[in-house]
């Protein structure tokens, strides 16, 4: 599925990166995005307001790299926006990005959240945390390793083990402990599940609310989305029935993943694309983005939303995401090897 969206300059005025320059630029920038247009629209509006550059967005729910490969030199894409380290590395490995040694972007994005060849850059992070029942889980500090402890038998729920969110976590376990340990850990976690893995992160919160399970693996941003969901107010009750635990806060830190950007290989509007990417790396833009999607800005000093702050303080795993991503294939193989998706045995 694809959809084109054209942004307009109707957002409220804020002091952005380019406010010092009174001159408006001409032209446009074309964005291929895995991220839904409504989530990035405030950024597009602000960028247009500050620069006069029109943004055009092509939203794809799959096949972004394949489309860029098929378009080749004729591709209109200037900037790629996506989520998950696997999709960013897929874009690089697929040959659809180009390096961008831009000092503004490099100085704003910490090294652990950008490609060593400057082929992609992280913008926000989300933690892979524990949703814990307020009634049945008094603990506020746990580790991922403890999830294999028999004390949690029949008390944990999660989505599909092969989902990219879980594969990212399992890959980080391999990075820290090795494959043999992770295989045994996965088997222990499997046997502590209350049922076969299924559903979404939101449905895990629903199951905690219903008393089906006491702990669940979930991403931080879903809690913010549920707490502010006026269209489906029952989700607010799910979120209020639990608290967020940031695993391994006392040692290596909580596993995180990213949303990010890359300069398309054949960007026809390269100058405008670079302006847009510099804007996205700015403090103002990162805070707008974080407020909308309930994620953590990667720029040091940029603040997450008040709702995200209310979850507590996150200490991100310091391992570079590129190092963790190298273990994703093996993590997927281990999920199948231990029969994780078959549920407790």
Q: Are strands 256-264 and 121-133 parallel, antiparallel or unpaired?
A: antiparallel
Question: CB-hemisphere CA count at 13 Å for 296?
Answer: 25
The pairing of strands 215-219 and 121-133 is: antiparallel
180 pLDDT band, cuts 50/70/90, is: very high
- Do 68 and 37 form a contact (C-beta atoms < 8 A)? no
Provide mean pLDDT across the span 97-125. Answer: 96
Judged against a pLDDT cut of 70, whether residue 176 lies above it is answered with yes
Matching CATH number, 2-124+257-303, of 3.30.70.360, 3.40.190.10, 3.10.450.50, 3.30.470.20: 3.40.190.10
Q: Return mean pLDDT, the chain.
A: 91
Residue 8 has pLDDT above 80, yes or no: no
Q: What is the radius of gyration, based on Cα positions, of the chain?
A: 20
- Summarize pLDDT for 181-193 with one digit per residue, the tens: 999 999 999 999 9
- Indicate whether 2 pLDDT > 70: no
Of 340, 328, 336, nearest in space to 84 by CA: 328
User: Could you report the per-residue pLDDT of 204-224, keeping only the tens digit for each?
Assistant: 999 999 999 999 999 999 999
Pairing label, strands 54-60, 2-6: antiparallel
pLDDT of residue 61: 82
Quick one: tokens of 66? 């394949």
pLDDT for the residue 26: 65
Q: Which two tokens stand for residue 324?
A: 């963790």
Neighbours of 263 (CB within 10 A): 25
For residues 54 and 77, what is the distance between their CA atoms, to the nearest angstrom?
14
Fold observed for domain 126-254+310-342:
D-Maltodextrin-Binding Protein; domain 2 (3.40.190)
What is the rounded distance in angstroms from the CA atom of residue 206 to the CA atom of residue 157? 11
- The yes-or-no verdict on residue 228 having pLDDT over 80 is yes
**Rounded Cα–Cα distance for residues 204 and 236 (Å):** 14
Domain boundaries, the chain: 2-124+257-303, 126-254+310-342
pLDDT digit string (tens) for 282-336? 999 999 989 989 999 999 999 999 999 999 999 999 999 989 999 999 999 999 9
Topology alike, domains 2-124+257-303 and 126-254+310-342? yes
Segment holding 168, helix H or strand E: helix 164-177
Burial of 98 by CB count in 10 Å (0-12 exposed, 13-18 middle, 19+ buried)? middle
Q: What is the mean pLDDT of residues 13-29?
A: 44
């Amino acid at each position: 599925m694809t959809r084109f969206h054209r942004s307009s300059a109707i957002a409220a005025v804020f002091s952005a990166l380019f406010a010092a320059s009174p001159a408006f630029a001409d032209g446009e920038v074309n964005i291929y995005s895995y991220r839904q247009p409504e989530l990035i629209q405030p950024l597009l509006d602000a960028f247009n307001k500050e620069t006069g550059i029109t943004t055009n967005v092509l939203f794809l729910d799959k096949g972004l790299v394949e489309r860029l490969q098929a378009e080749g030199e004729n591709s209109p894409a200037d900037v790629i926006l996506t989520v998950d380290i696997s999709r960013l590395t897929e874009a690089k490995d697929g040959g659809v990005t180009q390096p961008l040694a831009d000092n503004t972007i490099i100085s704003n994005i910490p090294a652990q959240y950008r490609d060593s060849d400057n082929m992609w850059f992280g913008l926000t992070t989300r933690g892979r945390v524990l949703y814990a029942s307020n009634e049945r889980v008094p603990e506020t500090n746990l580790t991922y390793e403890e999830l294999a402890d028999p004390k949690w038998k029949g008390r944990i729920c999660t989505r599909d083990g092969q989902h990219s969110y879980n594969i990212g976590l399992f890959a980080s376990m391999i990075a820290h402990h090795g494959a043999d340990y992770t295989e045994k850990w996965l088997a222990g976690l499997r046997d502590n599940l209350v049922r076969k893995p299924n559903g979404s992160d939101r449905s895990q919160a629903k199951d905690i609310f219903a008393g089906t399970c006491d702990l669940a693996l979930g991403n931080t941003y879903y809690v913010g989305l549920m707490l502010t969901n006026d269209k489906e107010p029952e989700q607010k009750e799910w979120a209020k029935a639990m608290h967020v635990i940031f695993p391994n806060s006392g040692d290596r830190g909580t596993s995180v993943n990213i949303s990010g950007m890359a300069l398309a290989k054949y960007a026809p509007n390269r100058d405008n694309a670079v302006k847009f990417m510099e804007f996205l790396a700015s403090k103002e833009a990162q805070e707008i983005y974080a407020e909308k999607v309930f994620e953590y800005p990667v720029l040091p000093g940029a603040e997450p939303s008040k709702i995200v702050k209310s979850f507590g303080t996150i200490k991100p795993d310091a391992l570079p995401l590129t190092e963790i991503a190298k273990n994703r294939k093996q993590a997927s193989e281990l999920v199948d090897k231990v029969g994780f998706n078959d549920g407790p045995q």
